[in-house]
């Protein structure tokens, strides 16, 4: 697994967000540059769809509640705009790169996590979205504290 280089992470915060909140509905859009390996994290109350490109290799995450407990819901689009044969490769790439993506989210919003330390123990659930049932999965990936 690659380790996060904080100098290659650029975080942008939306209006109305503070390190105190909101918690529920706080959304993360993580994209990257294939050329520079820079990571771009938008933290807002809506996803930054302007940053989403045709490759569909972004990571979208948001805080949600279930049974009174917060969890981080992450979604990646495994199919993308490609032939079904490419789905297996994209699935493997997402699985390889997700630890770095989760570390970028945790680091990029570190002041928020410092203000809400209990969220470091909240579960992370990842939806690998695909039209192919073999790759359309919902998996537990630890907690944000695992990625600091």
- Looking at residue 84, its pLDDT comes to 72
Nearest by Cα to 80 from 103, 47, 52, 99? 52
- Looking at residue 81, its pLDDT comes to 62
Give the Cα separation of 141 and 75 in Å (integer). Answer: 12
Please report, for residues 23, 27, 124, the alpha-carbon distance to residue 67 in angstroms, rounded to integers and kept in the order given. Answer: 16, 20, 15
Q: What does the angle CA 57 – CA 20 – CA 118 come to, to the nearest 5 degrees?
A: 80
Q: Are 61 and 30 in contact (CB under 8 A)?
A: yes
- Looking at residue 54, its pLDDT comes to 58
Global pTM? 0.93
Q: What is the mean pLDDT of each run of 10 residues along the chain (148 residues)?
A: 87 86 93 90 93 80 96 92 79 95 97 96 97 94 96
- Looking at residue 80, its pLDDT comes to 63
- Looking at residue 65, its pLDDT comes to 96
């Amino acid at each position: 697994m690659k380790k996060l280089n904080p100098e290659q992470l650029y975080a942008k915060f939306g209006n109305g967000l503070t390190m105190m909140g909101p918690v529920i509905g706080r959304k993360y859009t993580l994209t990257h540059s294939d050329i520079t390996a820079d990571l771009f994290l938008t933290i807002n109350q809506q996803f930054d769809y302007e940053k989403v490109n045709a490759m569909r290799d972004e990571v979208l995450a948001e805080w949600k509640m279930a049974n009174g407990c917060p969890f981080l819901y992450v979604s990646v689009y495994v199919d993308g705009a490609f032939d079904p044969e490419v789905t297996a490769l994209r699935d493997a790439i997402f699985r390889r790169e997700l630890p770095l993506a989760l570390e970028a989210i945790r680091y990029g919003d570190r002041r928020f996590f410092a203000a809400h330390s209990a969220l470091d123990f909240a579960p992370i659930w990842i939806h690998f979205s695909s039209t192919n049932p073999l790759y359309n999965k919902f998996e537990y990936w630890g907690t944000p504290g695992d990625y600091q």
